[in-house]
Every structure is written in structure tokens, then in C-alpha cells.
Structure 1
């Protein structure tokens, strides 16, 4: 799983007056630390990458707030948990929590849950002070070593495209939908004293879990995400890419259709011809390769490979968003595509 990641995000306002989606891409979450604590440096060998898409409603403030804050809250929680682990204050009964002090899935899950809770609590204070109605859904992917943690609340979603034994790409959902029409969600809302009318809480909002939406929090609209953990080092799957998207994408495209569309686009000869033509034009601006040293040639080839992958993924995610709009999505449409570099297009 430790491989180069190539990822791009694309968004479309659709027919809405305002773009209320937001996203975060942090390849190295460790780099955002504001503390210099050499005692926990040994625990940072594992990759820690954070990706998210936020779909705002009743305004963009909740999504923008999460874009700037949620991953920082998560990092602070992980850092605090590592310090507790180092001091022997955490149990080590988890089989995946080894003697090196790495955090177990149970610990990381607690960090994620607390980050969502704190982000919602802090934002609620802001909206109550400013009398705002903003809220947002969230879908988050956290890579910690070989483990992929997917956390979501609301109707945004994440999928994994992986190669099976028959060498075809198959879609594996990484999240569940949280709307007022889902039985278990509706039961919780009604138990809290809320009502569901026409599939909406109090006839107003469709999602049953969110950040913000202060007026509905006492009516069973919670900020607790569902978390799924996938271990790519042990499963007999060959992950190719992950897509995070808001409901504007999924409302017009089935998840398996999305996997097929992106997979076909990434492998299409026409895609690679287009990328190669662009790169050849860019190469004309560079010095003659024959004038470069051996070291410079190696560096150039590596950089060209990176540009090739980035441009291909960028074209794929843009084509995906355009396809959703073409199929009739009038909502904001945002998609984040994470391609695992060990795979061929």
C-alpha cells in the first residue's frame, strides 16, 4: 500500500447560485504539526494522509469551516493519543497495536470520532452566535500505513475500485447513506422527538447526520460518522483508485457506473494520446535532452512520469464531473480521485 498517490479534485457549481462544496487534500498530515516533540518522532514512520469532500447546504460556511479545521482537529487527537501511548496510558490489547507504539484501529477510530464531535461543537458555537443555518455532510479518507479509514456522515459517499481475480475492476462501497428515509435513521430522529415529512427532518433537511444544522441537533440529527476500515496488505484485492464524491455525483451515476467510467477513461488510448500531445508541447519549452547530464536526464524522466500521471488523473476526474452534469445533475458536483501509483492505467 505504501506507494505514490496521484490525486485531483474537480467541482462544478451546476445550476446552483453558489458553490457550497469544499475539500481538503493533505498528503502528509504529520507536516502540519505545530509542536516539536522529538519523543514521538519514532511513531511517525507510517504514512498519514487525509482527503475529504464536504457538501454544504443552507450556505457554504459549514463546508468551508470543515475544510480548514477537521483535519487539524484529527491531527491534534492523534498526536495526543501517541503521547498517551508513549506514557503507557493506553491499553495494548489490540492485535494490530504492536510494540513499536503504533496506534491501533481502535485508537485511530476514537481520534476520528472525537475530531468530528469537536468540529461540530465548535462550529455550532459560531452559528448560534451569528444566527446561521449552515450545515454540511462529510466523507473522509484517512490513510494510516496500510489501513484506509473511511468516515462519512450524510449522503456524500466513497467507493473503492479494485481488481479482482478475474482482473476486472469492481466497485466496493466504503460508506453508507444517512438520510431521514433510512429506517434506522428515521427511528433515531423520532425517538429524539423529531418528525420525518416527505423524507426530510421536519420537512426541511434530507440528511440525518451532518456538521452544523444547529436547529436540528436536538431532533436526532447527529454528527457521528460511520467508519469503515480496510487493510490492503491482507486482503486479496488490488486497489486501483478511491473516489470521494458529494450527492450531486451519485444522484445521477450508479457507483459501479462511476468505476467503469473512470476505469475506461484511464485506460483509453485516446486519453493517453491527448496527454502525450500536451506533454510534448510542454517539452518544447525544456532544454534539449542531449544537453543534459545523466543525473539530469534521470530527474527529467521521473518528473515527466509524475506529470503524466497527474494530467491523466486530472482529465479523468474532470470528465467524471462533466458526465454527471451531462446526465442531469443540477446540484453542486464534486469528486476527488485518489489513484494508487503502483498500478498501470
Structure 2
């Protein structure tokens, strides 16, 4: 119950900060069998997925070293709709057994080779009700880029049998971080095959757990040029010790040396200093109970430059400072897209 309350706090406040809340539109998604891929023939490693028999090395952020079948990405179109001058597509991508990625792509019609902004929400946010909203077309058109998004590993949308429901993002933190980081790179590989997107100019907007993944993915992939990070997780020893996201009865297991060792190579504060040359903005809400003060301070100190970090006392102050288009406008400017089209919002 406590975890649910935190999830609602994070998801609702972040959505309110980005854009004015709108009524969600649920697309009619056809029921399709998930296409399966044959796993490579290899000895079972320590990081063999519990959910599938697909080999994947969770000790590396580089998808080229992960063992995933880079040349065997299955893609099935699920839906396509024209909305307010945009095309909204839903594609099912598969590179693991029993763990498909449902990717939303929203782009203005009549424009080619647009830069891409990939939104990586916290694992608690439901992508199936977030990205089908019509407001994303206004975002894409007004700022001159394509919008993309998918749910992270170990989110409720992607937990399927035989994985027990008691497993969640933090209990399987190594897998969740590494798999989601690999997913970002595989999604960009798919986008390159489309031919209508500029995948050499990619921006990531990461919130919470999605912010941690965004940092890891940007360190692994040079195609990612800009990051806007909202309360990103990191500094695992302090975060796991003090985060209110973790039920007290589970915390002891996550503070054991073997657990901390597994995630030590996937700590965003290790990779943040390596991101010099990329446009970075880190926004921290001091009243957010998910990230403890000690971890928040270390994340801020790990930023390549001090002026890349902005702190707000609460979510209301952040929303006021950013305005209705503050997040996406900044990202468009970093990618060189600018406000290429004056959108007439119907909302």
C-alpha cells in the first residue's frame, strides 16, 4: 500500500510538471501473439534471466556486449492513428523471450528526419495510459521533434509468468537497470531502420528510475546528445538505505554486500562525470521522499558542471519555474529543433 502511494505521488506530480493534465485516451490494441526469438546457444551465465531463457549480461551497460541478438529484432505494428496533424504508432519489439517492448512513436506528419526525444518514466508510471494521450502530438509539433516512449523492465506492464509478482524494480535492481539500458539502445537501433527519424540526435527525459536508466544509456550510446533528468535515482548504498520507496521489511536484503556488489557497476554517479559534452539538466525536488538527501547530494556533485543542477523546495515550485512547456522546450533547443511549427493546441 505504501509503495502504491509513493507511485501515485511520483507519477502524478511529474505529469503535472511536464504538461497540463489531460484525459487519457486508451487505444484499441489488437491481441497479437508475442513473436519469439531463438536464444543464442551459450552456457548459462550468472545473469541468465529469471523470466526467460534469453542470455543477457547484466554487468555491462553496452548492449553490444550484452549477448542480446542485435540483428534479430522482431517488430510487429499494433496500431496507427492520425491525431491533430501527427501520426501515433504503437510497435511491439522483441529481443527477449516473453518480454516484448511496446514502443510508442508520435511524430508530426510531413516532416522527415526529425530528432527524437525518448521519455523514460519511473517504473511506476503506466505507459499504456500515458503515451496514447493526444497532448503528445502538441508536444511534438510545437517543439519540432518526434516523441517516443516505452515501459522499463520490471514495471507491472512487463512482469509476466513465470516471474513471481513479488519481484519488482528494486528487488531485481541489477536486471532492471541493465535490461532497461539495453532496451534504450535496441529501441534506437530499431528507429534507425525506419528511415524517417534522426537517431543521431536523441534526447532523453528521465524521471526517477527512468532518470537512472537515462544516465547509463547516455554513457553507453553516443547517439544520445541531451538529458533532462528529474529526481534521478543513484548512489545505491545511500539510496537503498534511506529511500521511502522501499518497504521496511525488505530493506535489509538490499543492504547486504552481495546485493550492493551486483549493482555497484550500474551506479549513475559513476557515469555522470563521463557525460561531458552532452547537454544535461538535473532537476531535484528537495521534498521528494523517494531519494534521500545523502544520495541527492552525491548525484548533484557527480554532474559534469555545477550549473547543470537545479533544486526546488517542492513540486509546486518546480512546476512554476518550468511552466507548461518548460521541459520539452529546453530539450528541443538542445537538439537544434527549436519551435519549428506553431502548434494550435485544442486543449
Query: What TM-score does the superposition give when structure 2 sets the normalisation length?
Result: 0.32
Higher relative CO (Cα under 8 Å, sequence separation at least 6) belongs to 1
Greater strand proportion: 1
Greater helix proportion: 1
